[in-house]
C-alpha cells in the first residue's frame, strides 16, 4: 500500500460544485502539503500544515480551504469549483522543514 494515499484519483465536476480531495498518510510525518501541478508551471503550494493545530496558506490559496482532521489526514476543499481549477493535485508529507517530500499519486480534477 502507498504511504501517501489520495482520493479520488480522478474527478470530473461542474462549475459551482463543492469538491473535497482527501489525503491520508502512514509515514508518521507531522508536515503535510497540498500542491497543484499545471503544465509548464511546476508544482505550486496551496496550503500546508506542520501539525494538527497548524494551517498555513501557500502561494495560491485563493478559492481553496483545508482541514487537518488528524496527524495522518489532510483534506483540500474547493467550495465553488471553477474551470481554471482544473489541474493535477498532489498531497505530500515531510519529516522536517525543507526535507524530502513524499508525494501521493495525485488527484486529477476537471471542472467543466
CB of 68 to other proteins, least distance (A): 16
Return the H-helix or E-strand segment holding 38. strand 31-38
Residues in the site for other proteins, rule: CB under 8 A? 4, 33, 35, 40-45, 48, 56, 58-59, 90, 92, 97-98, 100-101, 103-106
C-beta of 99: minimal distance to other proteins in Å?
A: 9
Q: Identify which of residues 13 and 102 has a Cβ nearer to other proteins in the complex.
A: 102
- 16: exposed, middle or buried (Cβ count in 10 Å: 0-12, 13-18, 19+): exposed
Nearer to other proteins, 42 or 84 (CB): 42
**Rounded-to-integer distance, Cα 3 and Cα 104, Å:** 8
Measured from the CB atom, the residue of 8 and 16 that comes closer to other proteins is 8
> Taking a C-beta distance cutoff of 8 angstroms, is the pair 6, 102 a contact?
no
Amino acid at each position: 500500500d502507498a504511504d501517501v494515499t489520495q482520493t479520488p484519483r480522478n474527478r470530473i465536476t461542474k462549475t459551482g460544485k463543492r469538491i473535497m480531495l482527501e489525503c491520508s498518510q502512514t509515514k508518521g510525518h507531522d508536515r503535510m502539503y497540498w500542491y497543484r501541478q499545471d503544465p509548464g508551471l511546476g508544482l505550486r503550494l496551496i496550503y500546508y500544515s506542520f501539525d494538527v493545530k497548524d494551517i498555513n496558506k501557500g502561494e495560491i490559496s485563493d478559492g481553496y480551504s483545508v482541514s487537518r482532521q488528524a496527524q495522518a489526514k489532510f483534506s483540500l476543499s474547493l467550495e465553488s469549483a471553477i474551470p481554471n481549477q482544473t489541474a493535477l493535485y498532489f498531497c505530500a508529507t515531510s519529516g522536517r522543514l525543507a526535507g524530502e517530500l513524499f508525494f501521493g499519486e495525485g488527484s486529477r480534477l476537471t471542472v467543466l
